[in-house]
Amino acid sequence: MKKNVLSLLCAVFLTLSACPFSATAQEEASAVSPAEGYLIGPGDLLVITVWKNAELSQQLPVRPDGRISLPLLGETEAAGMTVPQLTEDLKSRYAKYMTEPVLSVSVQQVNSMLVYVIGQVRSPGMFSLNSNIDVLQALAKAAGLTPFAEGDNIKIFRKHDGNTEIFPFNYDAVARGRKLEQNIVLKRGDVIVVP
What integer pLDDT is reported at residue 15 of this predicted model? 38
DSSP string, 36-91: T-PPP-TT-EEEEEETT-TTT-EEEEPPTTSEEEETTTEEEE-TT--HHHHHHHHH
**Domain 45-109, what fold?**
wza like fold (3.30.1950)
Give per-residue pLDDT as tens, 71-110: 999 999 999 999 999 999 999 999 999 999 999 999 999 8
Are the C-beta atoms of residues 48 and 57 closer than 8 Å to each other?
Answer: yes
Domain ranges of the chain: 2-33+112-194, 45-109
* Residue ranges of the chain whose pLDDT lies below 70: 1-36
Are the C-beta atoms of residues 169 and 178 closer than 8 Å to each other?
Answer: no
CATH class of 2-33+112-194: alpha beta
What integer pLDDT is reported at residue 36 of this predicted model? 52
**Per-position b or e across 141-161, b if 16+ CB within 10 A of its CB:** bbebbeeebebeebebebeee
What integer pLDDT is reported at residue 37 of this predicted model? 77
Strand residue runs (E) in the chain: 45-50, 58-61, 67-70, 74-77, 103-109, 114-119, 125-128, 154-160, 163-169, 191-194
Q: Tabulate helix, strand, coil % of the chain (nearest 5).
A: 30, 30, 45
Residue 21 DSSP class: P
